[in-house]
Structure 1
Amino acid sequence: MTVFFVRTAGERDLDKVRALLAETWHATYDTFYGVEKVKELTAKWHSIDALRARLQRKHSEFVVADTGSELAGMGYAAMSESLQKTVVLHQLYVLPRFQRRGVGRDMFAELETCFPDAECMLVEVEPQNLHALAFYQAHGFAEVAKTSSCGDEQSGIPAIILEKRLS
């Protein structure tokens, strides 16, 4: 059994996070969007510069699940810039070989506690990603809306918007 610990990400993690995101995105989304579209989105959304910007953003938390020899997962959440007392879970990804071992659950639990002023958390999920939908529903999220452009206004990727009330 692999032991991992959740910690705040640092600059030294960005190459490994980028590789982790590329692997998990291809494993998850190639069948939905095709290899080329996933490469395009990964190059844009998961570049070192994009990850560094997240790492440096105020009112955010960027965590990794570290086994001591590799990263098993990553998560990123930030306070919404447009919605009051709302935190947005932008990313929560676990390498396929570490899935269903509590890695996502533990990173989510950490992120959930990082925003004491937040009253709710939002996440956008690809409608075909049934594993992610089941994960979030099991952690208290419910569907509140849909969008035709997940991630950014030009993506053209549909998503279900889920919300969880925070205490």
Structure 2
Amino acid sequence: MFVRTASERDLAAVRELLVETWHATYDHIYGVERVTAITNDWHSIASLGSRLTKPHSEFLVADDGKEISAMAFAAADSDGKVVKLYQLYVRPGFQGRGIGGMLLDEILDCFPDAEMIRLEVEEANDRAIAFYKAYGFAEAGRTGHCGVAGSGIPALVFERPLGAWH
């Protein structure tokens, strides 16, 4: 398994990964219809493609040469001090193998001047919360609009200072 920068040729596979992972993770929380609507919007080829050219960002995939098993997307604020991890998803069949940690480590390496990394996580996603806590993240607040403004999806906000970590 190796981590590399995503390209346009990866977008269909990344979308498939996200749809599979979102349904496996969130159907029991939001219902199939809402998860389908969210993935059709947030994980469309056009939406994913726009991330490839976003300034001060990194879009990574974990690839074994046959399939993409995980992805991550993060972007720094204008001064590069705070990085927001927007996405880190590992296909259900590949979870628990260290792939998420590989992606997170690579994301951190991509932003050497950052002082803080921040993310939002669904509070019912116990597995993700345990993963982030194991990597030194701590709960720093809540949002009523996870992902995008107006989403109406509540989430926990987690942060981790970076100075001592990389």
Q: What is the TM-score with the length of structure 1 in the denominator?
A: 0.95
Listed one character per residue, the Cα deviations across residues 93-129 of structure 1 (whole Å, up to 9, x for unaligned) are 0000000001101011100110111100000000000
- Where 1:127 maps in the other structure, the secondary structure is coil
- Asked if 1:151 is matched to 2:147, the reply is yes
> Any residues of structure 2 matched to 1:1-167 within 5 Å, and which?
4-81=1-78, 85-167=81-163
CA distance in 2, matches of 1:58, 1:7: 18
- Where 1:100 maps in the other structure, the secondary structure is coil
- Where 1:110 maps in the other structure, the secondary structure is helix
Opposite residue 47 of structure 1, the aligned amino acid is S
CA distance in 1, matches of 2:91, 2:80: 33
CA distance in 2, matches of 1:162, 1:24: 21
Query: 26-35 or 146-155: which moved more?
Result: 146-155
Q: Which of structure 1's runs of 4+ aligned residues deviate more than 4 A?
A: none
- Where 2:114 maps in the other structure, the secondary structure is coil
Listed one character per residue, the Cα deviations across residues 26-46 of structure 1 (whole Å, up to 9, x for unaligned) are 000000000000000001100
**How far apart are 1:152 and its partner, in Å?**
1.1
Q: How many pairs are equivalent?
A: 163
User: Contact 2:80–2:113 at 8 Å: present in 1 too?
Assistant: no
Q: What is the Cα-based RMSD across aligned positions, in Å?
A: 1.0
5+ residue gaps in structure 1? Answer: none
CA distance in 2, matches of 1:12, 1:71: 12
Opposite residue 157 of structure 2, the aligned amino acid is I
CA distance in 2, matches of 1:87, 1:37: 28
**How far apart are 1:84 and its partner, in Å?**
6.2
**How far apart are 1:133 and its partner, in Å?**
0.3
Opposite residue 128 of structure 1, the aligned amino acid is A
**How far apart are 1:80 and its partner, in Å?**
2.5
5+ residue gaps in structure 2? Answer: none
